[in-house]
Amino acid sequence: MTQNEDLRENMLRQVLEHLSQQSENQYLKILTSLAEVATTNGHKLLSISSNYDAQMKSLLRIVRIFCHVFRIGPSSPSNGIDMGYNGNKTPRSQVFKPLELLWHSLDEWLVLIATELMKNKKDSADITSILLKQKGQDQDGTSIPAFEPPGPGSYENLSTGTGESKPDALGGKQEASADCQDVISMTANRLSAVIQAFYMCCSCQMPPGMTSPRFIEFVCKHDEVLKCFVNRNPKIIFDHFHFLLECPELMSRFMHIIKAQPFKDRCEWFYEHLHSGQPDSDMVHRPVNESDILLVHRDSIFRSSCEVVSKANCAKLKQGIAVRFHGEEGMGQGVVREWFDILSNEIVNPDYALFTQSADGTTFQPNSNSYVNPDHLNYFRFAGQILGLALNHRQLVNIYFTRSFYKHILGIPVNYQDVASIDPEYAKNLQWILDNDISDLGLELTFSVETDVFGAMEEVPLKPGGGSILVTQNNKAEYVQLVTELRMTRAIQPQINAFLQGFHMFIPPSLIQLFDEYELELLLSGMPEIDVSDWIKNTEYTSGYEREDPVIQWFWEVVEDITPEERVLLLQFVTGSSRVPHGGFANIMGGSGLQNFTIAAVPYTPNLLPTSSTCINMLKLPEYPSKEVLKDRLLVALHCGSYGYTMA
């Protein structure tokens, strides 16, 4: 039944769930049978002669059903003990015993590949040719033998099959010949699928929210090989390494690889896992319950929405939103979109004193004086809920925040360049301190600053005893960072915390960290339309460049050629915002008022990347020798986060 693709997985779960409730013996028998079938399928998947796509789907389907049946047993684990990890001593944990053969084979494979990686100088053609022998083993229609893990130092044990080698399907594509494949390329997807099955089995033996010690130990043991898999084929992360999202310790090992993947792929992974725990789409549709409708008053939409959302069931809001305005009949997605659009404007309504405009007048930052509104923290929590709900349901909001606030949402530390969004002059002063020797200037700065505390100016220490610690050439970098943290974080910490409390009700921190602050803006507010002709018309040139110069001609040709997403990245790279203001590029603001997009010449050296000065909207473009080099270097800067900020 589990291998019959015509039977829906949900139906199988329900049938086996019903049968397993008949008796303890029946329950254990079903689980043992599922484990045996999964082990057989896993060994087939590890056989090079098998069809990867079919065997992978079959194995993961069986393991999902196995884990589901295991969890609904009479004594599901709740004491934090991974029973399978502690020796399979209970009757229920004995059902995992058949799978140990598969996990042992997996471990042997990874050890073998690690050995190959360590050799590094030895051509892997010998093991590849041995592996390929398996591909001719099933030519006469006989069944594929179970995988036998290799013995120490013996590759001959991998396969003794005979017959003529023929190409076979691998992930829906032809497997390449031995001339262009090595053992890692041929086995990475197969082993990664088995790793996913192993993680699922480890996890179902643990309480929710806890990662199996056995699995953490497994990843640490095979860290080098797993990173090799991911570097060769990053898509493995999205296909099989789901465990990264549930274990911060493991995620940190792969984060640099994950963030290097295309934005679109990460978005798909984000929504796949965000909605993974919700009811399956093929289940019978249930009509909206009247009690689940958010009934709001149009004339007091912010306060009434805050009230109804705070009382609503969070799980139901994740599944779907139904909004109705009091005294109106309309419902549906159009009403929901209108609701989000109105609320995104109300969140930054100055009457609520929650957010203040940044220096450029187009973005918003939490108001450090929001305490004038006695309900400000409740409202910040509500604002977080609205943005979390909008992101959950792919609804765009008509609001843009400062770069520093997006960083706060992501848990990314702010730096002194972020101060420019609220006080450009102060940011320039901090830049000056960093760029100059302050030893003999007599500034007499200390690690304390005067700031507004509940409406009164007070001297606030940046660190314990800061009032008596002088700022010197040696400690000035620490001073600049602490001043930045005070102005950008400490001054609005309660507001940030309240906002995140609401946001995380719908968007887990582990998922949102897949993105940087620029990408988060695009997720929340969408991809703006950019008029390239208007951009060209309102661009200035300096430091030797003229509009007719070849480098400038190449630059604009590249801008025309790249994708809309990359144009937005370029705009963000230079101006700090993905948004073109009302009226077009002629109205772009800099740190001191209107400031056109500017391109400045920089002497070329090999591999030099473009940099930017966001305060004056300046792109510092090296004098590249060709259009091809210019495009390559520009895209590297945009996609790899080489933000070369300087302050004018």
Active site residues: 615
| Alpha-helical runs (H) found in 46-164 | 52-71, 99-119, 125-133
Pairing of strands 618-622, 597-602: parallel
Measured CA to CA in angstroms, residue 292 lies from 260, 316, 321 at distances of: 41, 8, 8
Residue 17: exposed, middle, or buried by beta-carbon count in 10 A (0-12, 13-18, 19+)?
Answer: middle
DSSP string, 507-534: S-HHHHTTS-HHHHHHHHH------HHH
What does the block give as tokens for 353?
A: 């004193």
DSSP string, 431-455: HHHHHS--TTS----BSEEEEEETT
d(Cα 261, Cα 639) in Å, to the nearest integer? 9
DSSP E strands in 367-513: the ranges are: 448-453, 456-461
What does the block give as tokens for 292?
A: 């689940």
d(Cα 191, Cα 188) in Å, to the nearest integer? 5
Bridge partners, residue 567, by sequence:
none
d(Cα 644, Cα 331) in Å, to the nearest integer? 48
| Cβ-contact 347, 386 below 8 angstroms | yes
φ/ψ of residue 183, rounded to 5: -60, -35
What does the block give as tokens for 21?
A: 């409730």
The Cβ of residue 537 has, within 10 Å, a number of other Cβ atoms equal to 12
The Cβ of residue 124 has, within 10 Å, a number of other Cβ atoms equal to 18
Measured CA to CA in angstroms, residue 222 lies from 197, 217, 233, 365 at distances of: 16, 9, 17, 44
What contacts 65, CB < 8 A, 6 or more positions away?
2, 9, 12, 13, 16, 34
Residue with tokens 């890692």: 184
Measured CA to CA in angstroms, residue 510 lies from 130, 219, 243, 247, 497 at distances of: 42, 18, 11, 8, 17
Single out the residue of 92, 309, 53, 66 nearest to residue 193, CA to CA.
53
